[in-house]
């Protein structure tokens, strides 16, 4: 039975703690960009600089992520990053029955992220399947952190399965790509790379997830020399569901899954153990093993890798004094846009000032519309249905 390896646990643990410290400080951790600290790094003042409350937060975050409890801790609290990893590895060494679990949070930017629990054996099996599809890679270049499921599988479990190193990179610094690299990024990052990378080295493969990748972006990356670009369809609740090699439009189901009817024209996922899972989207079924997503079930859209609900944003904007009605949609540039109908006695300039105050106080960065249009009525077609605007 495959086991969680120390290198993978180390990378995930660093990402989990970095995310927890960002949450506690409400600001980016200055040393979190690399996504990795050496095992000998001190946790306190001599190293990461975590105070006592932050150290407790780190322990809690690790316990939640790796299904740990305090019985496996030594008498002395952890003092180094390596001690955190020791705690994780001891728990999973004692898991003879392969019942270990990991918990990740949804990437939603509204409300509280929901915990999603996964059997570690399922995640390792997914990494093993993916390794057969990416044989020959010499290195994984991670542009995403390893505390969300996409990063866990692709930048922690997969490199160990392939037996290759993983290096963390960030856009804004040299990527230093080389032949044989597998670059793991999200659609917004690929869009920026299209504008910044004049020519990719030979034999560089890309992977994208956390939102559908625009076909024009994919075509531009291919023209710039990217040897292959793979788009992964999945969710925090399910893990990877299907994948496609751009420019194909249909996604091929991963071996773990098959489709089962769910009413008239609808489908659900069934795993190898017969467990049913909801798809995040309505889909078009293409043959036995291929699908095409055709619209989110919950009305969410993806902004910078985050689930955002335009209707929730519209409800917030409708509370603004002077706004009679509001519609919110995803703009072609990947951010939200809003159409605002002022009260008949309201001045759009004054409403704009109120909008800025409310948006700053009540909406996260991905939720904040970047363009506003004002008009006497929401745009509707002849049937009265809300339609898009420019």
Residues 110 and 308 sit within 8 Å (Cβ to Cβ): yes
Can you tell me the distance from the alpha carbon of 200 to that of 193, in angstroms, rounded to the nearest whole number? 10
Judged against a pLDDT cut of 70, whether residue 318 lies above it is answered with: yes
With respect to CATH, is domain 309-374 assigned 3.30.300.30?
yes
Confidence of residue 382 (pLDDT cuts 50, 70, 90): low
Per CATH, the number for 100-300 is: 3.40.50.12780
- Of residues 317 and 108, the one with the higher pLDDT is 317
For range 263-281, the mean pLDDT: 85
User: For 38-42, 189-193, 344-348, which range has the lowest pLDDT when averaged over its residues?
Assistant: 344-348
- Of residues 14 and 296, the one with the higher pLDDT is 14
For range 287-291, the mean pLDDT: 88
Cα Dmax for the chain: 72
C-alpha to C-alpha distances, 245 to 230, 232, 242, 283, 339, nearest whole angstrom: 5, 9, 11, 18, 36
Domain with CATH 1.10.1200 in the chain: 1-96
C-alpha to C-alpha distances, 68 to 19, 64, 65, 248, 271, nearest whole angstrom: 18, 7, 8, 42, 26
Domain with CATH 3.40.50.12780 in the chain: 100-300
Confidence of residue 293 (pLDDT cuts 50, 70, 90): confident
Can you tell me the distance from the alpha carbon of 370 to that of 74, in angstroms, rounded to the nearest whole number? 50
pLDDT digits (tens, 9 = 90+) for 194-222: 999 999 999 999 999 887 788 889 999 99
Residue owning tokens 């270049």: 141
pLDDT digits (tens, 9 = 90+) for 251-260: 999 999 999 8
pLDDT digits (tens, 9 = 90+) for 141-179: 999 999 999 999 999 999 999 999 999 998 888 999 999
pLDDT score at 10: 95
CB atoms under 10 Å from CB of 290, counted, come to 18
Can you tell me the distance from the alpha carbon of 123 to that of 25, in angstroms, rounded to the nearest whole number? 31
pLDDT score at 153: 95
Residue owning tokens 């990052």: 189
For range 315-343, the mean pLDDT: 90
Judged against a pLDDT cut of 50, whether residue 32 lies above it is answered with: no
C-alpha to C-alpha distances, 285 to 93, 198, 212, 237, 345, nearest whole angstrom: 42, 37, 17, 21, 51
Cis preceding-peptide flag for 285 (omega within 30 of 0): no
Residue positions counted in the chain: 390
pLDDT digits (tens, 9 = 90+) for 36-45: 799 999 999 8
Query: In whole angstroms, what separates CA 6 from the centre of its chain?
Result: 23
Q: Which CATH architecture has domain 1-96?
A: Orthogonal Bundle (1.10)
Domain with CATH 3.30.300.30 in the chain: 309-374
Judged against a pLDDT cut of 70, whether residue 350 lies above it is answered with: yes
pLDDT score at 6: 92
Q: What are phi and psi of 222, to 5 degrees?
A: -65, -40
Alpha helices in 2-47 (DSSP H): 6-25
What the block records as the tokens of 326 is 């509001």
pLDDT digits (tens, 9 = 90+) for 96-148: 666 789 999 875 544 456 788 999 999 999 999 999 999 999 999 999 999 99
Judged against a pLDDT cut of 70, whether residue 34 lies above it is answered with: no
Mean of all residue pLDDT scores within the chain: 87
> In DSSP terms, which residues pair with 139 in a beta bridge?
181
CB atoms under 10 Å from CB of 340, counted, come to 26
- Of residues 193 and 105, the one with the higher pLDDT is 193
Can you tell me the distance from the alpha carbon of 121 to that of 235, in angstroms, rounded to the nearest whole number? 18
Judged against a pLDDT cut of 50, whether residue 355 lies above it is answered with: yes
pLDDT score at 369: 93
For range 281-292, the mean pLDDT: 87
- Of residues 307 and 324, the one with the higher pLDDT is 324
User: Angle of helix 215-223 relative to helix 187-196, nearest 10 degrees?
Assistant: 40
What the block records as the tokens of 231 is 């788009």
């Amino acid at each position: 039975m495959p086991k969680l390896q120390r290198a993978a646990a180390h990378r995930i643990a660093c990402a989990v703690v970095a995310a927890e410290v960002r949450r506690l400080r409400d600001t980016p951790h200055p040393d979190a960009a690399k996504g990795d600290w050496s095992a000998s790094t001190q946790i306190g003042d001599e190293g990461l600089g975590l105070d006592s409350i932050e150290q407790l937060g780190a322990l809690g975050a690790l316990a939640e992520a790796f299904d740990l409890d305090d019985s496996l801790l030594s008498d002395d609290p952890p003092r180094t990053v390596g001690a955190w990893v020791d705690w994780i590895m001891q728990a999973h060494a004692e898991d003879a029955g392969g019942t270990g679990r990991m918990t990740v949070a949804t990437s939603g930017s509204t409300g509280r992220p929901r915990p999603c629990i996964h059997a570690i054996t399922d995640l390792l099996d997914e990494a093993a399947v993916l390794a057969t599809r990416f044989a020959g890679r010499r290195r994984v270049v991670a542009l995403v952190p390893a505390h969300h499921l996409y990063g866990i599988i692709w930048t922690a479990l997969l490199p160990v399965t392939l037996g290759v190193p993983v290096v963390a990179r960030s856009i804004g610094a040299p990527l230093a790509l080389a032949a044989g690299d597998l670059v793991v990024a999200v659609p917004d990052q690929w869009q920026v790379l299209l504008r910044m990378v004049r020519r990719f080295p030979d034999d560089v493969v890309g992977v994208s997830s956390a939102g559908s990748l625009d076909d024009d972006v994919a075509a531009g990356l291919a023209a710039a020399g990217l040897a292959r670009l793979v788009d992964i369809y999945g969710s925090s609740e399910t893990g990877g569901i299907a994948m496609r090699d751009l420019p194909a439009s249909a996604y091929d189901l991963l071996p773990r899954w098959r489709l089962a009817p769910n009413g008239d024209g609808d489908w659900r996922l069934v795993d190898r153990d017969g467990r049913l899972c909801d798809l995040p989207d309505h889909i078009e079924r293409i043959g036995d093993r291929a699908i095409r997503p055709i619209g989110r079930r919950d009305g969410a859209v993806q902004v910078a890798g985050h689930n955002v609900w335009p209707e929730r944003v519209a409800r917030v904007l409708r509370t603004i004094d002077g706004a009679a009605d509001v519609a919110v949609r995803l703009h072609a540039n990947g951010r939200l846009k809003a159409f605002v109908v002022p009260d008949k006695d309201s001045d759009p300039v004054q409403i704009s000032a109120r909008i800025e105050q409310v948006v700053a106080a009540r909406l996260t960065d991905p939720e904040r519309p970047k363009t506003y249009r004002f008009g006497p009525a929401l745009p509707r077609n002849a049937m009265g249905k809300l339609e898009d605007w420019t």
